Structure 1
Amino acid sequence: MTLRYRVLPVIQLLLVFRLFILTNQVVTVMKRDGTLNEPLQSLIKPTFNVSWENNSTYQITFTAYSDNSIAYALLVSENIIMWRGQQFVIKQSVPNYSARYATVAITATHIYLDVRKIYQHNKKAGTLTYSVRDVLAFYLDNNSFGYSYDVQGSFPNQQITDLGGNNAFEGLSQIVSTWPDAMVYPDNKKIVVYSKDAFTKNFGNRLGYGYNSDNMTLTYDSTALVNQLTVISGTKEDGSVWFQPHVINDQTSISEYGVIDGGDFSDDRFHDVNAADDAARAKLVTEPAITIALDYLDNDEPVAGEVRRLEVLETGFVTNVMVVAYTYYPLDLNQKTSLTLNSNQQTVLDYQRSTLNILNQAKQNTLALSTAIKDANDKLNVLTSDGVWYTYGGNTNG
């Protein structure tokens, strides 16, 4: 009896856990008004994928076949796909009829992207100073669509000119362009703006070419480089200035890539020359960007913002990278997950270090080959004093 009472709770726990897993894997279709919510049994599992890209895409796509079910009938525009507790709104529904089979291809975007339905008709004219929360409040406070918001992490106040007169999604775009480190990530209709530090998470996992990736591409892009700016003072009420125009730059970057001038920097908030220079230096882009794309061979679900240790042992490239985009096939583990990884200054430095190692090794290999060739020629050919070449092996050429 004692054993029975000890085992039963464990069995119940396992059953609950199994039920959670099964429920977590179920795709359901819900009518837009919430009156129906049906499991989609006719989903063609290998076609189901989830795609996310930081501050850009968050969607699911799949194909289902006609089984005359209510769920299949609900696969029309603006109805809701439920996946792991998140809502995705059907934006494209493409029926196809072939070989007497009816199917429909679905593209559904995360419901947070429907925040564009909120239009802010008011406009705050002029250049004013805002926090991230100020911008969110201006667009989302008292909206009739049920959207809420939060801010995680610290952001300095910034100036924005003529805020408003557009929809709330464009308001989010304004945040991302004003605060480049901002990352927008939703929980259904709750929109959270994270700082990069607040968004990243590290579980001690790693990525390795030849270990859990068999296809990796590194894109090294210097398009956005700016290593010099001219700092211009704002004007006082009497028309005079606080400080004279002057140049700030990054000599390390210039020595590596040459002068790449970004023009003038001017911000009326800064009356102190040191504060203005610090703000201008924050705008410099002193190193090229690196984007790393790879096929991931493990089956665990990608985590947005996860930091992993990346290793390419053949080149000595070892660095920490952050997941900034993925395409994942959760219902077909035979299909590879695609990951896109971030670029930061340390990543660039690590890449440059590995490239320098490759260059040095190539130079050493070239020197060794040249030495070997010279030694071989010296052994094969001997020039005598009478101008006749003697070649080892008994042949003589005159």
Structure 2
Amino acid sequence: MTDIIIQNYEKTKKEILVDFNKDSFFENWQQNETWEVSFDVTKTDFNSEVFDFVDYESSVLFNGQEFVIKAMTTSGEGAHVSKSVTATHVYYTIQDGRQYNTVTGSRSINQLLTHIFSAGNRGFSWEVVDPNKKFLTVEQENFGNDNYLKLIEEILSDYDAVVIPNNKRLTFYPRSEFGEKIEEQIRYKYNTDSVKFDIDTYSLKTQIRGSGKKKDDGSNYFSPITYTSPESDKWGIRIQDPVEDERYTVAGNMTERLKQDLQDYPSISGSVTLKWRITPKKGDYVPFIYEPLNIKTYIQIVGIKTYPALPNKPPEITLSNTKKTMTSILANLAKKGVI
């Protein structure tokens, strides 16, 4: 296991963390949602100096990445003092910056990122990787006046993007182009006996209406658009809350937005418990084969929870819940009479 180093807030001292509860240490990454490490440590004669470094806003350096202690519980039992720590990736400190100014009009992802960081880069840098020109310009209305993290999350939603931090270097990819196909498969009775799918229809809808920006004279750039999914043939007309977004001045762009937003399939999330370690990277597409449910497809890994100090404990994998992949899985579940 790579050493865990604790660095004080002032970044003047650092020590290797020793004599901690290795069973408690895990690293958890969920695409566009979280990246954190967590561990428990009790003060002993061997770690008394580094134990004092374990404090709010101190850094945990692990696998070349910096995590900042944001949550900690301190407890005592007799003469023993223990700390339970959660440290989030340094990327999330980006929320401490704010862009007060706003921009309006058609903007590319690069233009919006430039706008965010024009208020100060706070040590961050960024790049957009889009060789196939998947990112389109989007009509924005008063983009800004928020903290950096919320503005980036808005970009991820508007441009269907993924951000991968490397400490304070941020790389943005189109979601459809992030990750590589690998041949290290997840297969029933080979490296997993347990596959779990949570399925519900609480939010299933088949029709949605959208309206865009109005002109100065009060007329519309385009008439409100109603999109009805082909799934309405099966489920009937179930109306989703409308989209009212003044960033849109082109009907075709709104139609694509409605197709993307409409939840016209049951909500599905999937996870697997593996028998041993595999070594996928963030966003990799792995062959997923589960004969009992007639599932054989490439599926994207959007979450990885690992236990680096426990070499025999395999990772917990979260599978893609994109419409294309999960609709295919849903069809196979239906064929098997599961749903």
- TM-score interval, normalised by the smaller of the two chains: 0.7 to 0.9
Q: Which has the higher contact order (CA 8 A, sep 6+)?
A: 2
Check if 1:340 corresponds to 2:318.
yes
Query: Between Structure 1 and Structure 2, which shows a larger proportion of helix residues?
Result: 1
Identity of aligned residues (%): 22
Aligned length: 334
Q: Distance in 1 between matches of 2:92 and 2:225?
A: 43
Question: 1:62 maps to which residue?
Answer: 39
Structure 1 stretch 192-201 or stretch 85-94: which is displaced more?
192-201
CA contact (8 A) 1:152 1:198 kept: no
Check if 1:313 corresponds to 2:291.
yes
Q: Which runs of 5+ in 2 are unaligned?
A: none
Q: Which runs of 5+ in 1 are unaligned?
A: 1-21, 363-398
Once the 2 structures are TM-superposed, how far is the Cα of residue 342 of structure 1 from its aligned partner? 0.8
The residue matched to 1:295 in structure 2 has which SS?
Answer: strand
Once the 2 structures are TM-superposed, how far is the Cα of residue 34 of structure 1 from its aligned partner? 2.4
| Matched ranges for 1:1-398 at <5 A | 25-66=2-43, 67-124=46-103, 127-141=104-118, 143=120, 145-153=122-130, 154-179=134-159, 181-230=160-209, 232=211, 235=214, 245=224, 247-251=226-230, 253-262=231-240, 264=242, 277-359=255-337
CA contact (8 A) 1:321 1:343 kept: no
CA deviations 1:305-352 (Å, max 9, x no partner) are 111121221221222211112221011124342211112344334324
- Tell me the amino acid that sits aligned with residue 26 of structure 1: D
In the superposition, the TM-score normalised over structure 2's length comes to 0.86
The residue matched to 1:133 in structure 2 has which SS?
Answer: helix
Larger radius of gyration: 1
Give the RMSD, CA atoms, in angstroms. Answer: 2.8
In the superposition, the TM-score normalised over structure 1's length comes to 0.75
Q: Distance in 1 between matches of 2:102 and 2:220?
A: 30
Q: Distance in 1 between matches of 2:296 and 2:323?
A: 14
Question: 1:380 maps to which residue?
Answer: none
| Cα separation, partners in 2 of 1:359 and 1:64, compared to 1, 3 Å | closer
- Tell me the amino acid that sits aligned with residue 166 of structure 1: D
Q: Distance in 2 between matches of 1:266 and 1:311?
A: 41
Once the 2 structures are TM-superposed, how far is the Cα of residue 291 of structure 1 from its aligned partner? 0.9
Once the 2 structures are TM-superposed, how far is the Cα of residue 31 of structure 1 from its aligned partner? 2.1
Once the 2 structures are TM-superposed, how far is the Cα of residue 108 of structure 1 from its aligned partner? 0.7
Once the 2 structures are TM-superposed, how far is the Cα of residue 274 of structure 1 from its aligned partner? 5.4
Once the 2 structures are TM-superposed, how far is the Cα of residue 122 of structure 1 from its aligned partner? 2.5
CA deviations 1:240-288 (Å, max 9, x no partner) are 556655643223x111221122355566676665565455444434333
- Tell me the amino acid that sits aligned with residue 52 of structure 2: A
Structure 1 stretch 187-196 or stretch 257-266: which is displaced more?
257-266
Q: Distance in 1 between matches of 2:146 and 2:177?
A: 28
Once the 2 structures are TM-superposed, how far is the Cα of residue 59 of structure 1 from its aligned partner? 0.5
